[in-house]
């Protein structure tokens, strides 16, 4: 089975091509360029350089969230566009789970973290057991302090901190957790290789979806929508106050 996988959930953009578990090729860029400009050229080039066409791909995988709202939408929309006419199956992969599948280590805890701003992170924990990935927690949004308090209960010798939120977490509580390991830069960020590996397991477990069923995974509503809701609440409160004054 040949899998084309992409990740656009944070600042980096990554594309990988996997055939029966063998990595045929991968592109990774972290140059702060808009993903709408870089993603499709990377897809086109990896197909061209490996000598295959989109019709040769059996499964299209994408990190569907959590992550940047704009980045998630670009990735999901691109895969929906590539699979709409062909009706090829899709894999909506958790960005955090994909990070665990990128780890080269055999044993320990993977603490996957993405910067969610406002002293919060998107996080999930996974256990590596002889290289096999076992999910410990669901994907969630929590404060950096809450994550630190939770990690203190784990007794594993190694807790691998990875993701674009790894730096801020390590600076916050790295000194207080001796088992915490900040993963090297070359594997710290999201990579489409992990997306493809997670998708391969999803295929084995019959957890794939169609192009129509593929949707973004959000743990929080977008900032613009939160601000709109807050403005509406303030408007309703003012209206109630004005109505109350008019009845006096």
Nearest Cα to 91, choosing from 69, 75, 103, 102?
A: 75
On the question of pLDDT at 18 being above 70, the answer is yes
On the question of pLDDT at 206 being above 60, the answer is yes
Which phi-psi region, left, alpha or beta, contains residue 208 (left: φ > 0; alpha: ψ -120 to 50)?
beta
User: What predicted TM-score, i.e. pTM, was given to this entire model?
Assistant: 0.87
Across the beta sheet with 90-94, the strand order is: 22-29, 13-19, 2-7, 59-65, 90-94
Place of tokens 């994909």: 98
Q: Cα torsion at 92, 98, 101, 104 (round to 10°)?
A: 160
Contact between residue 166 and residue 113 where contact means Cβ atoms under 8 Å apart: yes
Name the burial class of residue 19, with classes exposed (0-12), middle (13-18) and buried (19+) by CB atoms within 10 angstroms of its CB.
middle
On the question of pLDDT at 153 being above 60, the answer is yes
User: Across all residues in the chain, what is the average pLDDT?
Assistant: 91
Fold of the 104-188 domain: Nucleotidyltransferase; domain 5 (3.30.420)
Place of tokens 């990774």: 28
Please tell me which residue, 223 or 77, carries the higher pLDDT value: 77
Contact between residue 34 and residue 211 where contact means Cβ atoms under 8 Å apart: no
On the question of pLDDT at 178 being above 60, the answer is yes
The pLDDT value given to residue 221 = 55
On the question of pLDDT at 219 being above 90, the answer is no
On the question of pLDDT at 50 being above 50, the answer is yes
On the question of pLDDT at 228 being above 60, the answer is no
pLDDT band per the 50, 70, 90 thresholds, residue 246: low
What mean pLDDT do residues 25-32 have?
94
**Structural domain boundaries of the chain?**
2-97+191-226, 104-188
* CB atoms inside a 10 Å sphere around CB 145: 12
pLDDT band per the 50, 70, 90 thresholds, residue 85: confident
pLDDT band per the 50, 70, 90 thresholds, residue 200: very high
On the question of pLDDT at 116 being above 60, the answer is yes
CA angle 161, 200, 71 (to 5 degrees): 55
Which phi-psi region, left, alpha or beta, contains residue 17 (left: φ > 0; alpha: ψ -120 to 50)?
beta
Lowest average pLDDT, out of 28-42, 105-119, 232-246, goes to 232-246
Instruction: Give start and end residues of each alpha helix (H) in the chain.
Output: 35-50, 69-83, 95-101, 144-151, 166-173, 185-188, 192-204, 223-246
Distance CA(76)–CA(72), nearest Å, equals 6
Superfamily of domain 2-97+191-226: ATPase, nucleotide binding domain (3.30.420.40)
The pLDDT value given to residue 224 = 43
The pLDDT value given to residue 152 = 95
Distance CA(101)–CA(35), nearest Å, equals 23
pLDDT band per the 50, 70, 90 thresholds, residue 226: very low
């Amino acid at each position: 089975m040949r899998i084309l996988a992409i990740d656009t959930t944070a600042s980096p953009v990554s594309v990988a091509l996997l055939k029966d578990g063998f990595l045929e090729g991968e592109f990774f860029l972290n140059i702060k360029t808009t993903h709408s400009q870089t993603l499709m050229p990377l897809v086109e080039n990896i197909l061209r350089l490996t000598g295959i066409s989109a019709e040769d791909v059996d499964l299209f995988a994408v990190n569907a969230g959590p992550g940047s709202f704009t980045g998630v939408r670009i990735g999901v929309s691109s895969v929906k566009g590539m699979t709409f006419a062909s009706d090829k199956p899709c894999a909506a992969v958790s960005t955090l789970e994909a990070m665990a599948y990128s780890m080269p280590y055999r044993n320990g805890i993977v603490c996957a973290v993405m910067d969610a701003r406002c002293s919060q992170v998107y996080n999930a924990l996974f256990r590596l057991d002889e290289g096999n990935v076992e999910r410990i927690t669901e994907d969630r949004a929590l404060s950096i302090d809450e994550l630190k308090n939770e990690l203190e209960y784990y007794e594993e010798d190694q807790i691998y901190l990875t993701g674009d939120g790894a730096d801020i977490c390590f600076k916050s509580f790295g000194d207080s957790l001796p088992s915490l390991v900040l993963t090297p830069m070359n594997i710290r960020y999201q990579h489409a290789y992990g997306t493809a590996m997670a998708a391969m397991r999803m295929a084995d477990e019959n957890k794939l979806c169609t192009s129509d069923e593929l949707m973004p995974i959000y743990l929080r509503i977008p900032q613009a929508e939160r601000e709109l809701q807050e403005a509406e609440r303030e408007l309703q409160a003012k209206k109630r106050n004005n109505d109350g004054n008019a009845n006096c």
